[in-house]
Amino acid sequence: MSNILIIKHGSLGDIAQACGAIQDIFENHPNDQIHLLTTKPYYDLFKKNPNVSNVILDKRLSRLNLIYLYSLMKEIKKYSFSKVFDLQNSSRTSFYKRILFPNAVKEKWSSSETTLPKDKSKEDFDKESVLQRFEHQLKSSGLNTSNVTNPDFSWSLTDISQTKNSYGLDRYIVLFPFCSPHLSLKKWPYYNNLIQLIKEKFENQFKIVVAPGPNEIKEASNINAICVLDNGKALDISQLSSLIKNSSFVVANDTGPAHIAAHLGSKGFALFGPHTSAYKVSIETENFKAIQVSDLSKLSAGKVFERLKSSLSVT
């Protein structure tokens, strides 16, 4: 039995996307122990993943913090990993490779760099969709792949019946009008207008809810919807996943919850401006689609509502 390491630090949407690759790695190493290196926000979540034997915490402190770096490298080395799958493919994980296995090729350290197609530059390769890049990485590393392009995030679910009962949630539409402050290009500005249209047309058929993150609770007070919290705190990732899974429909900016919805098989769509494309981030599935426009400020609430109404098949 060997020890296999997977590196996946984040972010939330990336975690949902990577779970198919993680499952394929697990299924290709049935007699090995799968360890996963991640960051604090996802440490407890990955402990629930049935394809992972052990979770290792990376605090991601400064690379100049030599004491921490030495401690982390010592922790990693003690497992004598026979292979590393770098699913983060960041400058930080490349830095780890230079310390741990400086001359390693794809047979030892699988990354987008070590498995880069010979006929493509890194710049050109990065234009491919996220899941296609993962699939190429795993296949180039000798793995059979059956899950990587169809991630299933259902392992993250938990029982939220008490929360649903406390808010009286039966049929509901969940909206995610938030985004990181430095990514304002992703933010569609007309959620309250959309809410008004839903209430006017559907009357009491659906409740409308939002589920803000820890830093979004104050902002949520500006949205005319039920704010779902857990004893005044933001839902954890498993609770959030379950709220999404049990919903009738999801409308979101291009953020982590949109990717969770996509890879839970939920019905809904994400709104995309010029910052990237739905193709590149691999968000569209059978039930979850995208509305892509050149300027989100020019996408009217009426157009979004008509798409929602059509998708729900409600007259």
**Kind of pairing, strands 226-227 and 288-292?**
unpaired
**pLDDT tens-digit map of 226-245:** 999 999 999 999 999 999 99
Q: How far apart are CA 24 and CA 265, in angstroms?
A: 19
Q: Does domain 165-312 have CATH number 3.40.50.2000?
A: yes
Q: Give which of 209, 205, 185 is closest to 195, Cα–Cα.
A: 209
Q: How far apart are CA 23 and CA 28, in angstroms?
A: 9
pLDDT score of 1 more than 70: yes
Q: How far apart are CA 176 and CA 193, in angstroms?
A: 14
Q: How many Å is the Cα radius of gyration of the chain?
A: 21
How would residue 273 be classed by pLDDT, with cut points 50, 70 and 90?
Answer: very high
Domains of the chain, residue spans: 3-149, 165-312
**Domain 3-149 and domain 165-312 have a common topology:** yes
User: Mean pLDDT, the chain, as a whole number?
Assistant: 96
pTM: 0.94
The tokens describing 184, both together, are 């304002």
pLDDT score of 185 more than 90: no
Helix axes 12-28, 130-140, angle to 10 degrees: 30
Fold for 3-149, please state it: Rossmann fold (3.40.50)
Q: How far apart are CA 55 and CA 302, in angstroms?
A: 46
Q: Are 268 and 252 in contact (CB under 8 A)?
A: yes
